Amino acid sequence: MSNFAKTMLFWLIAFPILTTVLIIIIDYFRGITIEVTSYWPNVLGLAVGGILVGFVHFNAKKLLTNKNA
C-alpha cells in the first residue's frame, strides 16, 4: 500500500472514529444520553477535516523527505 493511501486512510477513517469514541466516553461519564444519530455530525465533520489534514500531512512529509534527500 502506498504511503499516500496509508496517510489518507488514517486521517479519513481512524481519526474520526477514535475521536468520536472519546467524545462518547466523555458524554457517558457526564451522564448525557447516548444516541448514535447524535454523533453522525461529529464523524462526518471529522472525516472532512481528515481529508484536508491528511492531504496536507502527506505533502508536508513528502516535502521534508525531498528536502533532506
The per-residue pLDDT for range 1-38, each reduced to its tens digit, is 888 888 899 999 999 999 999 999 999 999 999 998 99
Find the domain containing 27 and state its range.
Answer: 3-68
Rounded Cα gap, residues 25 and 42, in angstroms? 14
Residue 44 has pLDDT above 90, yes or no: yes
Rounded Cα gap, residues 25 and 40, in angstroms? 15
| Runs of H (alpha helix) within 1-69 | 3-9, 15-30, 40-68
Structural domain total, the chain = 1
